[in-house]
Amino acid sequence: MIFSISLNAEELFDFQDLQTETRYYQLIDEIRCPKCTSGSLASSNAPVSEDLKKKIFELLEDGYTDQDIRNYVVERFGKDSVYQPKFSENIFLWLAPLVFIIFLLSIFHFVRR
């Protein structure tokens, strides 16, 4: 019985070609499950994740690009729903380590003098 549950855990889709299938698995790996604290769509079998995976499959079949699909998800579930944050909206976050290193180096520089 345990075996049958794990078999049903993921819905299987008939992809038109291998390339689409690869894109699908990349996408569900980089899009977050909307219902989870953290965890990708690929790792989740929450009802909404199953629906979203099905939707992504349909959008791929309809010829949407990867970016179109990311936009579809972000428009509905918020910008937190993709793992790759946008550079423009998070400049501080991206540059903070660099600023910190420069700050430390300059302290060393002056202390040595």
Partner 1 sequence: MFILLLDKEAGDPVNLDRTRSAIPEFNLDSLNRDFPVTSQFFSELEKDTIVVMNVWASWCISCAIEHPFLMELESAVNLIGLNYKDDRDDAKNWLLAKGDPYEFSIHDPNGTFALDLGVSGAPETFLIVNNEVVLHYVGIVNQDIWMNYFDPMVQEIFDKK
The answer to whether residue 97 forms part of the interface with partner 1 (CB under 8 A) is no
Name the DSSP class of 40.
Answer: B
The overall longest dimension of the chain from CA atoms, in Å, is: 72
Window 17-36: residues binding partner 1 (CB under 8 A)? 34-35
Q: Is 61 in the site for partner 1 (CB under 8 A)?
A: no
Q: Residue 78 or residue 105: which is nearer to partner 1 going by CB?
A: 78
47 vs 63 by CB, closer to partner 1:
47
According to DSSP H, which parts of the chain are helical? 2-8, 18-30, 47-61, 66-77, 91-112
Question: What x/- string results for residues 62 through 81 when contact with partner 1 is judged by CB under 8 A?
Answer: ------------xxxxxx--
Taking each helix axis from N to C terminus, what angle separates 47-61 and 66-77, rounded to the nearest 10 degrees?
150
Q: Does residue 39 interact with partner 1 by CB under 8 A?
A: no
What is the size of the binding site for partner 1 (CB under 8 A)? 16
Contact 59/16 with Cβ under 8 angstroms? Answer: no
Bridge partner residues of 31 (DSSP): 82
Binding site for partner 1 (CB under 8 A): 34-35, 46-48, 51-52, 55, 74-79, 92-93
